């Protein structure tokens, strides 16, 4: 909280200095309409799923404690179609220039679980506090760790600076040894220009494996970047943007089609401070495939208050300023990039938790954004407790949504037993529009107005519809059969 509050002050100061952003609470951060990732049939994808999973951070084999049966349960209970799957630099490149193909085999096995159920996967090169190698007790092997995680031990240069035990994991970020590890990674010290090169080449090795895999649609280049001694636009528009550009170029040497997702710095921006991220150019032929993947963690909720009273008021204000910044970066800076809310979440036992989750999904729907909730790990934040008991998250998330749209969605909304979608059909897209309908709202047949039913499968809960493609925007309304 101290750090975040500090960076909020820092961030706010920077934002004021920058002066190029819309005033908080304005009509929105851009006039650029939402855009979408698309599938191979050209359908606009509306992605709903989880981060899977935090347990991978400390696993020696780099894999989450998440079985195919866990995925089957998630799919049956909530109809998700997306996952932000955590991978790690330490696992990809355990030694300099040596890429672990057996680790990538394990990742590919998990990807096939998702493929078999019609999911799309975004691979997240995850880090928190740089590496598990920052503390001897935290290092369960080459940077696997329960305090830090991400970078391999060989890329962790603390130059002998101290790291003392902290009662909150976030406070390790400002420990001298950790600050130096980040300053060496970003080469702010001028001592290690090779590390960002290794990072880009590690991503190239991952992209080389998944380039032809239609299930993997995006690469999230770095989780919650931290600039060490560099903060705000000096970091985001400096070494962070440079790393993103270098990594995008390296990926495009082997993979022309996956989206490259870039995230702002976490501190401040997660809490609504405007980001100073600058343009990343996609060298691919044709449309740019850069996406924007911010996270949302309003400070009042981080402090353990519920979504009620003053905390709710302050959280709503945070969401408004966060949304303006997201629209500005995705629309104006990145040139109309699709948005994926890479992380948001809270302790679902807090007062008003269900209302907060609904508010965030409404904001995501209005932004045309995908969502990966943090996280699928067992516990009060997730959908299931360790004993398998469902939290409120399952029913809160288990709502109708359009998964793949044969055109450009302009708006949609749903309740448990009704969905309405307006979109501009794309004549070039011959695949039908696909909609998920939960059994709770649709126990029997379905009625569709505004489109023709192609198929309704009560087992998979998927409805597909088609419309005449020579018309203007169409509105499809789905209700339970009378
Ligand atoms: C001081 N710094 C740099 C900092 C502090 C706090 C977070 C954070 O809470 N992040 C929110 C969630 N995201 C991670 C996984 O990406 C989770 O462990 C956090 O709960 C990030 C950075």
Residue 7 predicted with pLDDT over 90: no
Please, which contacts does 139-142 make with residues 24 or more away whose CB atoms are closer than 8 Å?
140/58, 140/60, 141/60, 142/90, 142/94
Which atom of ligand 1 lies closest to the CA of 173? 1
pLDDT of residue 146: 80
Residue 289 Cα, ligand 1 centroid: separation in angstroms?
A: 27
Distances (CA, A) of 200 to 156, 221, 260, 278: 16, 9, 12, 18
Distance in Å, CA 295 to ligand 1 centroid:
9
Residue 304 has pLDDT above 60, yes or no: yes
Q: Whose CA is nearest to atom 1 of ligand 1?
A: 170
Give the atom of ligand 1 at the shortest distance from the alpha carbon of 265.
3
List the single range of 28-37, 46-55, 63-72, 304-313 with lowest mean pLDDT. Answer: 28-37
Q: pLDDT for 395-453, tens place per residue?
A: 999 999 999 999 999 999 999 999 999 999 999 999 999 999 999 999 999 999 999 99
Q: What angle do CA 43, 48, 54 make, to 5 degrees?
A: 135
* Average pLDDT in the chain: 93
| 102, HSE (Cβ side, Cα atoms, 13 Å) | 3
The whole-number pLDDT of residue 1 equals: 40
Question: Ligand 1: distance of its center to the CA of 468 in Å?
Answer: 47
Burial class (CB in 10 A: 0-12, 13-18, 19+), 179: buried
Residue-level pLDDT at 8: 40
Ligand 1 mean position, distance from CA 14 (Å):
21
Could you identify the atom of ligand 1 that is nearest to the CA of residue 171? 1
Closest ligand 1 atom, CA of 223?
16
Alpha-carbon gap, residue 185 to 195, rounded angstroms: 6
The beta strands (E) that lie in 109-187 are given as 120-125
Strand duo 82-87 + 120-125: pairing? parallel
pLDDT for the residue 469:
63
Given pLDDT bands bounded at 50, 70 and 90, which one contains residue 24? very low
In the structure, what pLDDT confidence band is assigned to residue 470 with cuts at 50, 70 and 90?
low
CB within 6 Å of ligand 1 — which residues? 3, 128, 170, 173, 223-224, 226, 266-267, 270, 297, 343
pLDDT value, residue 143:
74
The 10s digit of each residue's pLDDT in 60-88 is 999 999 999 999 999 999 999 999 999 99
Distance 170 CA to ligand 1 centre (A): 7
End-to-end CA gap in the chain = 53
pLDDT value, residue 399: 98
Evaluate if residue 11 carries a pLDDT over 90: no
Q: If you count them, how many residues does the chain have?
A: 482
Give the closest residue (by CA) to ligand 1 atom 5.
170
Per-residue pLDDT tens over the stretch 456-466: 999 999 999 99
331 alpha carbon – ligand 1 mean position (Å): 25
pLDDT score of 18 more than 50: no
Taking the centre of ligand 1 as the mean of its atom positions, its distance from the CA of residue 363, in whole angstroms, is 21
Q: Ligand 1 centre from 224 Cα, in Å?
A: 7
Q: What is the pLDDT of residues 355-402, one digit of tens each?
A: 999 999 999 999 999 999 999 999 999 999 999 999 999 999 999 999
The answer on pLDDT for 14 being more than 80 is no
| pLDDT for res 302 | 76
Query: If you take atom 11 of ligand 1, which residue's CA is the nearest one?
Result: 297
Task: Work out the pLDDT band at 28, boundaries 50, 70, 90.
Answer: low
Residue of 128, 146, 372 to mutate, ligand 1, most atoms within 8 A of C-beta: 128
Is the predicted ipTM greater than 0.95, yes or no? Answer: yes
How far apart CA 42 and CA 407 sit, in angstroms, is 8
Pocket test for ligand 1, best of 266, 273, 298, 346 (most atoms within 8 A of CB): 266
Neighbours of 356 (CB within 10 A): 26
pLDDT higher than 60, residue 54: yes
SS3 state at 44: strand
Q: Are 323 and 28 in contact (CB under 8 A)?
A: yes
Q: Which two tokens stand for residue 335?
A: 């040139």
pLDDT classification of 305: cutoffs 50, 70, 90: confident
Phi-psi region of 56 (alpha: psi -120 to 50; beta: other; left: phi over 0): alpha
Lowest-confidence pick of 7-11, 267-271, 439-443: 7-11
- pLDDT tens-digit map of 116-156: 999 999 999 999 999 999 997 767 667 777 889 999 999 99
Say how many Å lie between the CA of residue 478 and the centre of ligand 1: 39
129: left (phi over 0), alpha (psi -120 to 50) or beta: left
């Amino acid at each position: 909280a101290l750090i975040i509050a500090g960076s909020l002050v820092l961030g706010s100061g920077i934002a004021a200095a920058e002066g190029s952003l819309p005033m908080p609470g304005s009509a929105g951060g851009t006039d650029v309409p939402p855009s979408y990732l698309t599938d191979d049939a050209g359908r606009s994808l509306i992605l709903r799923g989880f981060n899977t999973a935090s347990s991978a951070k400390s696993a020696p084999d780099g894999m989450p404690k998440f079985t195919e049966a866990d995925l089957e349960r998630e799919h049956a209970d909530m109809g998700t179609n997306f996952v932000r799957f955590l991978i790690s630099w330490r696992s990809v490149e355990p030694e300099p220039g040596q890429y672990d193909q057996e680790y990538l085999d394990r990742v590919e096995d998990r990807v096939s679980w998702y493929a078999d159920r019609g999911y799309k996967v975004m691979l997240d090169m995850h880090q928190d506090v740089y590496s598990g190698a920052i503390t001897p007790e935290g290092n369960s092997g080459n940077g696997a760790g329960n305090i830090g995680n991400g970078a391999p031990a060989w890329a962790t240069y603390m130059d002998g600076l101290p790291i003392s035990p902290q009662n909150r994991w976030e406070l390790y970020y400002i420990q001298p040894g950790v600050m130096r590890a980040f300053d060496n990674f970003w080469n702010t010290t001028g001592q290690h220009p090779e590390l960002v090169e290794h990072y880009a080449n590690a991503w190239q090795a991952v992209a080389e494996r998944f380039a032809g895999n239609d299930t993997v649609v995006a690469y999230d280049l770095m989780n919650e970047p931290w600039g060490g001694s560099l903060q705000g636009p000096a970091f985001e528009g400096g070494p962070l943007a440079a790393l993103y550009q270098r990594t995008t170029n390296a990926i495009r040497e082997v993979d022309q089609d996956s989206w490259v997702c870039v995230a702002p710095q976490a501190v401040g921006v997660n809490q609504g401070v405007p980001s100073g991220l600058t343009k990343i150019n996609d060298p691919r032929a044709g449309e740019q495939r850069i996406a924007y993947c911010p996270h949302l963690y309003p400070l009042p909720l981080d402090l353990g208050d519920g979504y009620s009273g003053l905390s709710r008021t302050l959280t709503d204000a945070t969401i408004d300023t966060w949304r303006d910044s997201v629209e500005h970066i995705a629309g104006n800076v990145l040139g109309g990039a699709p948005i994926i809310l890479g992380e948001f979440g809270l302790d679902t036992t807090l007062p008003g938790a269900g209302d907060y989750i609904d508010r965030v999904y409404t904001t995501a729907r209005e932004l045309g954004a995908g969502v990966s909730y943090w996280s699928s790990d067992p516990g009060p934040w997730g959908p299931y407790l360790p004993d398998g008991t469902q939290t409120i998250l399952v029913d809160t998330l288990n709502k109708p949504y359009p998964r793949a749209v044969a055109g450009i969605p302009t708006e949609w909304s749903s309740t448990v037993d009704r969905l309405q979608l307006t979109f501009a059909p794309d004549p070039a897209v011959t695949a039908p529009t696909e909609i998920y309908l939960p059994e709770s709202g649709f126990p029997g047949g379905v009625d569709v107005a505004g489109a023709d039913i192609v198929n309704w499968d009560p087992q998979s809960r998927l409805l597909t519809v088609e419309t005449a493609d020579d018309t203007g925007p169409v509105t499809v309304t789905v209700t339970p059969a009378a």
